[in-house]
Amino acid sequence: MDKEEIFELVVSWLTLSVAFAWNLNPVTFFYSLPFYLLAVGTAFVFHELAHRFVANKFGYPARFVMWKEGLIFAVLLAILTNGRFVFAAPGAVYIFGHPRERENAYISLAGPATNLLLSYLFFFLALLLQYPHQLFYLLLSLAKVNAFIGFFNMMPIFPLDGAKVLPWNPFIYFLVLLAFTPFFLF
């Protein structure tokens, strides 16, 4: 990773965190900002890095590219709705080369699979704590945020990950969706 890519990833992470934490009440905003820094850090940053890592493993150079307009839109929408709605389109990992369909599907699956693993990890760590412990609620929230980001990215709408996975293997596509379901039943 070069300095520019790290800068763009950090700016995207911080901007999304502010958008999700946005509230006209400054006390609420500053109280929730650390949570969103952690949640967006695990859900968004690890998701994007997973895409990059798998692309590199297949021999394709890849890098995260920030989409400034998407970040501005996320913040403006958060301000206009007082934090009730955020549509995040911070950027994406660009792959240089032409991966075959299978490789592209694996690269696309890497992000949601990372979110899925983090969701289950946070969920089981929460179960190890005694209820009601504040860390219990934090871990459950992190599990839900990761599940939401992963599930959302599995929608079969281009350029989301699901649009590359479903045509390659519908069985795996629906299996991944099914693995996310427990987080939406609670």
Total of domains in the chain: 2
- Residue 24's pLDDT is 78
**135 near 129, Cβ under 8 Å?**
yes
- Residue 175's pLDDT is 97
User: Taking the chain, what is the end-to-end CA distance rounded to the nearest angstrom?
Assistant: 38
- Residues 38 and 56: their CA atoms lie apart, in Å, by 26
What is the average per-residue pLDDT within 134-163? 92
48 carries an active-site annotation = yes
* CB within 8 Å of 107: residues ≥ 6 apart: 51, 54, 55, 58, 60, 62, 95, 99, 164
- Residue 134's pLDDT is 81
- Residue 186's pLDDT is 67
- Looking at this protein, which amino acid is placed at residue 147? A
Catalytic residue among 4, 5, 48, 101: 48
Same domain, 6 and 30: yes
Same domain, 87 and 133: no
- Residue 84's pLDDT is 86
| Ranges 8-12, 54-58, 75-79: which has the least confidence | 75-79
CA distances to 93, 129, 154 from 12, in Å? 12, 32, 21
Phi, psi of 13 (to 5 degrees): -60, -50
What average pLDDT does the structure give for the chain?
93
Q: Which of 50, 72, 98 is the last residue of a domain?
A: 98
Same domain, 110 and 186: yes
Residue 119 has pLDDT above 90, yes or no: yes
53-62 confidence digits (pLDDT tens): 999 999 999 9
- Residue 155's pLDDT is 95
Supply the range of the domain harboring residue 6.
Answer: 1-98
What is the average per-residue pLDDT within 88-92? 90
